[in-house]
Structure 1
Amino acid sequence: MNGKKLVSLLLAGVVAGSILVTSTTTAERVVAQTPMEAATEYFDAYIARDAEGMMFYSKDTNYLDEKSREEGYVKDFKTNPTTGYEIVESKQINSNEVQFNVVQKYAGQSYEQSPPLPFKVFKSESGWKVLVEPLEINTLTGEVTKGTPIHALQYMDN
């Protein structure tokens, strides 16, 4: 009889612990009320290597679905270690869009930081979101141009 009570008590503790962890994790994500809040939450999640946070505060046109998006972010954390960022400029486009130029700082790369990269922040039904679009950076000239989405890239063997 005591064995059954112990198992029930342990299961109750596991369930309560799961609820606590879930509610704590969910409570940390607050819908962005301003464009700057969306941008800082997104880039803070990027620096923290928090794929879920990045996904919560953005829309990313590089990926076709959420699964490949999360996998892409996790891979990017390993191959492209971003250590910091600075929002160097913001410009109101209209009441539903703001353009931010962001310099990203890197570790272990041949270059220490990016040129200013353009990111739009837009008002969605679920708060402000960062629009992540494919960009190509010429590391010699610093020129930034529109890139090809990751899902559309084709790799060829030589």
Structure 2
Amino acid sequence: MTVVTWQQAEDTLTAAFEYLGAMRDAERAFLAAGSRTAWPEILRETRAGDYADVEAMPSPRLTRQCANLVEVMLTGDRPLANVIAEGHRALVGRVIVMQRWPGPDGFGWDLVWSRMGGELYNLARRQILPATSEAMRKAYSRAIGKVAVAMEAKGVTQR
């Protein structure tokens, strides 16, 4: 049995989140096609000196291993992320995004607190309760700890 550390669980969950974002979405092109005209983009590129669409880079090809990690961690029948309390999933997702792509202010639990509106969902009481930034940090830490235990039990490790 492989021991999965808290940091490995966080890194694996972050990687699965990134892979999920990089996966091709077949409906996205269909929905975006009629959403707006391409003319402003062409004008902007004309001012830059060419007509190339520099922002429309193809998404990186994902390996089967990456897709399997996304399925095991996030999208399968019984994803390991389901061990995270339902009320804390939004917190975990927000923290992963904020840590991976910090804005101009960087990452801090006070910023997490303000973006979450200073509230957490309490599953036991089935209500939204005010929370401190320290309570959010502890809830996140416990959630990642649960993911580590689930990964260890299922034998999942990031490669």
| TM-score band w.r.t. shorter chain | under 0.3
1 or 2, which has the higher helix percentage? 2
TM-score (norm 2): 0.26
1 or 2, which has the higher strand percentage? 1
TM-score (norm 1): 0.26
| Higher RCO by CA contacts (8 Å cutoff, separation 6 or greater) | 2
